[in-house]
Amino acid sequence: MTLRVCFSKGERVCFLSHLDLMKALIRAMRRASIPFAFSKGYNPRPKIAMGPPLPVGITSEAEYMDVDLKEEVSIIDFSKALTRELPADLNLKQVTPIVEGPSLMALLDTACYHIPFPTQIEREDQEERFTKLYARGDLQVLRRKKKKSKTVDLRPLIKRFELTPLEKVLEVKMYVSIGNSGNVRPQELLEIMPKVIHGLKRPSLTEVKRVGLYYEKEGSFLTPV
């Protein structure tokens, strides 16, 4: 039996790396006596598959992992037991049995980041200014990998944005591509947006939140559960 688990990662655990997070979840499941399946061989490991990694320092409302169990359990018992044992600020949001289909890493191609840009732009002008400047801005970022560097155009990788103008802050939800077909890092958004949209300031990375992970199907963004 395989369960797809959705959980949030809050402020108090936002500095955990992907591996730290996986270890913390496994230990919580061990404490909760979850009967997970082990890999065969010399060094048996719990059969767990994590979703796309979250950059260190930012919080998330919806992260995913798939857990293989060696026996059937009721979703309610599983959720109750795990909720009791999760560390502070890792919160269980949804548990769904999955039958078959692609892994989380293969399936998910879109992440949505919520970014509050500090700004002096008047609230009523924010939307127009953003849309206009965004349309003609240059969204090239430089990526360094060891000694080589290359330029990547983020424009085709930014799939959609939603704006919420507020006093002194423009909140932007950006749906961006992740995974093999092109990956946008939130740090890059923090860097490029204030360059393109004059009047926006760069917020700290710790203020960014990942709102969701999706797969794109016929123009809409679907969650994996």
Partner 1 sequence: MEVINLSKLKNSLIRVKKPTRYTGEEYNITKKDWESVDLKIGLIYPDIYEVGMSHLGLKILYHLLNSQDDILAERIYAPWPDMERELREGGMPLFSLESKRRARDFDILGFTLQYELSYTNLLNILDLSQIPLYAQDRDKTYPLIMAGGPNAFNPEPLSPFIDLFVIGEGEEVILEIFQVYRTWKREGGGREDLLKELGERKGIYVPSLYAVEEDRRPSLSKNSIQKRLVEDLDGAFYPRRFIVPYMDIVHDRVMLEIARGCGRGCRFCQAGILYRPVRERSPERLQEMAHSLLSSTGYDEISLTSLSSSDYSQIKKLSTSLMDTFSPLKVGISLPSMRLDSFSISLAHQVLRVRKTGLTFAPEAGTQRLRQVINKGIQEEDLKQSVSSAFSLGWKSLKLYFMIGLPTEVEEDIEAIARLAQEVYSIGKREARGGVRLTVSIANFVPKAHTPFQWVPFLPIEELDRRLSYVKDRIHSLKGRIALNWHDPGMSLVEAILARGDRRLAPILAQIQREGGRFHGWSEHFQLSHWQKVFRAHGMDMEEQITREIPLHGDLPWDFIASGVSREFLEGEYRRALEQEVTPDCREVCQGCGVSKYLHLFHCRGDIL
Among 81, 107, 205, 225, binds partner 1 (CB under 8 A): 205
80: tokens are 């109750």
- Compute the 3-state secondary structure of the chain and give helix, strand, coil in percent, each to the nearest 5: 30, 40, 35
Question: Is residue 88 a contact residue for partner 1 (CB under 8 A)?
Answer: yes
Q: Which is nearer to partner 1, 89 or 216 (CB)?
A: 89
**Cβ atoms within 10 Å, residue 95:** 19
Smallest distance from partner 1 to CB 38, Å: 6
**Cβ atoms within 10 Å, residue 186:** 21
64: tokens are 């995913």
Question: Is residue 190 a contact residue for partner 1 (CB under 8 A)?
Answer: no
d(CA 207, CA 116): 7
Question: Is residue 29 a contact residue for partner 1 (CB under 8 A)?
Answer: yes
Among 8, 18, 26, 134, binds partner 1 (CB under 8 A): 26
Question: Is residue 13 a contact residue for partner 1 (CB under 8 A)?
Answer: yes
Could you identify the residue written with the tokens 């127009």? 128
Label residue 218 left, alpha or beta by phi (over 0 means left) and psi (-120 to 50 means alpha). left
Q: Which is nearer to partner 1, 44 or 101 (CB)?
A: 44
Interface residues for partner 1 in 66-85 (CB under 8 A)? 85
Question: Is residue 192 a contact residue for partner 1 (CB under 8 A)?
Answer: no
Smallest distance from partner 1 to CB 25, Å: 10
* Contact between 47 and 39 (Cβ < 8 Å): yes
90: tokens are 């890792």
Count of residues in contact with partner 1, rule CB under 8 A:
28
Give the interface with partner 1 as residue ranges (CB under 8 A): 12-13, 15-17, 20, 23-24, 26-31, 33, 38, 42-44, 56-57, 85, 87-89, 204-206
